[in-house]
Structure 1
Amino acid sequence: MTDKNKVFVYPKEVSAFGFDWGRLSLTVAPEVNGATRFSGGVIDLPSGKGHTRHNHPGAEEIIFVISGNGEQMVEDDKGNPVIAKVGPGCTIYVPESRFHSTLNTGDGPMQLFVVYSPAGPELALRDLPDFRLLPPGGK
């Protein structure tokens, strides 16, 4: 349920998108608090897991590494993969429609905060075969 006045949101308070590779808890989105220009949330990746190469047609993305270490791939403007090691404090900018992927290469969990602009491309994740909706606080 949308609560347009909900401005303080913890990931445990919202339902999450669960996958074999991890989970996404949307904390800012039209369906969470009425945000319309962007959406975002917290991604939790277990050690050795990550999301495969994909893109968000018509949308830009910001990825901020909260904790953990990994490898981030973002294609350049010619479609060539550029891979970098990333860790806490790193901000990754994914230009509109560019393919990208993230892999947790550390021994522990990796946590990211992601922002999509405009809002909505994350909803396509519901169509993935391993998608499951997890209740607030659920695993």
Structure 2
Amino acid sequence: MKQGADAHFVYPKDVDAFGFDWGQLALTVAPEVNGAQRFSGGVVDLPSGQGHARHNHPGAEEIIFVISGHGEQMVEDEAGTPVTREVGPGCTVYVPESRFHSTLNTGDGPMQLFVVYSPAGPELGLRDLPDFRILKAGG
């Protein structure tokens, strides 16, 4: 865990990332990174044509902010009906507690997102996925 003032300034390249066949997540804010208690978050990188499958985070809300790239974002509505929209740089997506959602990079280049989970913790469940691996910082 980063300590002191360094805990306030974290680049994705400075932390171990969660690697998957569809991309990676570098947690830059989390209890185990810098002691954050009420939320966690980080940078998701999705190569062209890749994305994460439909899933949910029981008991947690999520914010997805599109930094770069273009894609399709699905979030279920109150009735459980999938609602899909084209998203691009500057778009903020709110995923209500426990709602199913998915993201697909439909652009020609990489797509980068910043995601926030509240409360912290849902991202730890990603460690149970069969294609999970740790990508060492700076590697």
Normalization by structure 2: what TM-score?
Answer: 0.97
Amino acid at match of 1:77: E
Structure 1 position 82 matched with structure 2 position 68? no
When the two structures are aligned, how many residues end up with a matched partner? Answer: 138
Determine the structure 2 residue equivalent to 1:45.
46
Alignment gaps of 5+ in structure 2: none
Amino acid at match of 1:41: G
Cα distance in 2 for partners of 1:3, 1:97 equals: 32
SS at match of 1:98: coil
Q: Could you give the per-residue CA deviations for residues 45-96 of structure 1, whole angstroms, max 9, x where no partner exists? A: 0000000000000000000000000000000010000000000000000000
Cα distance in 1 for partners of 2:75, 2:119 equals: 19
Cα distance in 2 for partners of 1:131, 1:119 equals: 19
Determine the structure 2 residue equivalent to 1:24.
25
Q: CA deviation at 1:137?
A: 1.9
Amino acid at match of 2:16: S
Alignment gaps of 5+ in structure 1: none
Determine the structure 2 residue equivalent to 1:7.
8
Determine the structure 1 residue equivalent to 2:124.
123
SS at match of 1:84: strand
Determine the structure 1 residue equivalent to 2:58.
57
Q: CA deviation at 1:4?
A: 5.7
Q: CA deviation at 1:2?
A: 4.7
SS at match of 2:42: strand
Amino acid at match of 2:120: A
Determine the structure 1 residue equivalent to 2:103.
102
Percentage identity across paired residues of the two chains: 81
Cα distance in 2 for partners of 1:109, 1:133 equals: 20
Cα distance in 2 for partners of 1:4, 1:51 equals: 34
